[in-house]
Amino acid sequence: MIKAANIMLAGPAAYTEAVSVLKAGGLVALPTETVYGLAVDARNEDAIARLYAAKGRPAHNPLIAHIFDPAEAKEWAKISPLAQRLMDIFWPGPLTLVLPRKAGRNLSALAGAGLPTLALRCPEARWAQAFTAQGLQGPLFMPSANISGRISPTAAQHVAEDLGDKVDLIIDGGPCLGGVESTVLAIEGETATLLRPGTIPAEAFAPHISSLNLPEKAAKPSAPGMLASHYAPRAKVRLNALEKRKGEAYLAFGPSNFADAQLSLTRDIEEAARNLYAMLRELDNIPVKAIAVAPIPEDGLGQAINDRLRRAAAERP
């Protein structure tokens, strides 16, 4: 049984309510241009602890601080010239930068997982201006609004299904435009490392970064939350499937005689990214033993889609 969640349609009344819930230390699910996030006031340690508990998120997995204005970044992190250039070009937008923390300004030991770095993102979202206008200071810590390890939500209803009874308010802004999470880059001086492929394809950075280290080539392991199985439905996931086997549901990419769901009939990779999580959820709810997924090309957003699918298919802990 899904408990009725407090859902409000995006708009001035919902934003006012969100501000009062956040100021009181509550948990608010918010639409972003990537996926729905679960926000708390970054200065409220109790709210942060409740956020970890609600998601069942391991304490070693740090959170992204979401700011409302790119100019705020320098309050919390050291900004190299490369970081500044990327912020000027891609913010507000679906890019997260992992930067050296500024000494004496640590927002929360808990949310930082003891790292010397801080992940910062300035989302493109209508609520950001409304929150600022109502005197709510950023940042907000905001992971994706799903149970840890499961599929990220791209609609308010997904949040209600997963976390309805644990969230104080869900703002319904319709389906997310991106469909996969923000791209995460770690910046050290003039060096950038791709920690998580995401809504901005790696190719888009080529004109702005002299060399982008890919995760395989990086000296350090990638983002703490990126190692284990993640983004997983209950059903097993079989990749690069050209046929549908007994007990499977088939997730197609392009014309197919046995599609149970279709990422994009015209093989449009952006449409596929927008549909990915909703369709994995839909097939998982049937329920089936396994979800077989058609091969997806690696270009553009295909990199992020394949990254999520590989994690969804990975051995479960």
* Helix or strand run (H / E) with residue 19: helix 12-23
**What three-state secondary structure class fits 247?**
coil
Q: Is residue 172 a contact point for ligand TXA (CB under 6 A)? A: no
SS3 assignment for 138-176:
CCEECCECCCCCECCCCCHHHHHHHHCCCCCEEEECCCC
Q: Is residue 303 a contact point for ligand TXA (CB under 6 A)? A: no
Rounded Cα distance between 39 and 131, Å, is 12
Q: Is residue 306 a contact point for ligand TXA (CB under 6 A)? A: no
51 binds, among ligand TXA, Mg ion, none (CB under 5 to 8 A by kind): none
Number of residues that bind ligand TXA (CB under 6 A): 29
233 binds, among ligand TXA, Mg ion, none (CB under 5 to 8 A by kind): none
Q: Looking at 96, 275, 303, 306, which residue binds ligand TXA (CB under 6 A)?
A: 96
* Helix or strand run (H / E) with residue 133: helix 126-133
| List of residues 6+ apart from 76 with CB closer than 8 A | 65, 67, 101, 102, 105, 107, 118, 120, 139
* Helix or strand run (H / E) with residue 89: helix 81-90
Residue nearer to ligand TXA on the CB measure, 80 or 96: 96
Q: Is residue 31 a contact point for ligand TXA (CB under 6 A)? A: no
Rounded Cα distance between 243 and 257, Å, is 10
Q: Is residue 144 a contact point for ligand TXA (CB under 6 A)? A: yes
Q: Looking at 154, 157, 182, 262, which residue binds ligand TXA (CB under 6 A)?
A: 182
Token pair recorded at residue 64: 């992204």
Rounded Cα distance between 228 and 287, Å, is 24
254 binds, among Mg ion, ligand TXA, none (CB under 5 to 8 A by kind): none
CA torsion sign for 87, 89, 94, 96 is negative
Binding mask 143-182 for Mg ion (x = CB under 5 A): -x--------------------------------------
As measured in angstroms, the least distance from the Cβ of 143 to Mg ion is 5
Residue nearer to ligand TXA on the CB measure, 54 or 223: 223
User: Does the bond joining 139 to the residue before it have cis omega, within 30 degrees of 0?
Assistant: yes
Q: Which amino acid is at 295?
A: P
Q: Is residue 64 a contact point for ligand TXA (CB under 6 A)? A: yes
Q: Is residue 61 a contact point for ligand TXA (CB under 6 A)? A: yes
Binding mask 262-301 for ligand TXA (x = CB under 6 A): ----------------------------------------
Residues that bind ligand TXA (CB under 6 A): 32, 34-35, 37, 61-64, 94, 96, 98, 115, 117-119, 121, 123, 142-144, 181-182, 184, 195-196, 223-226
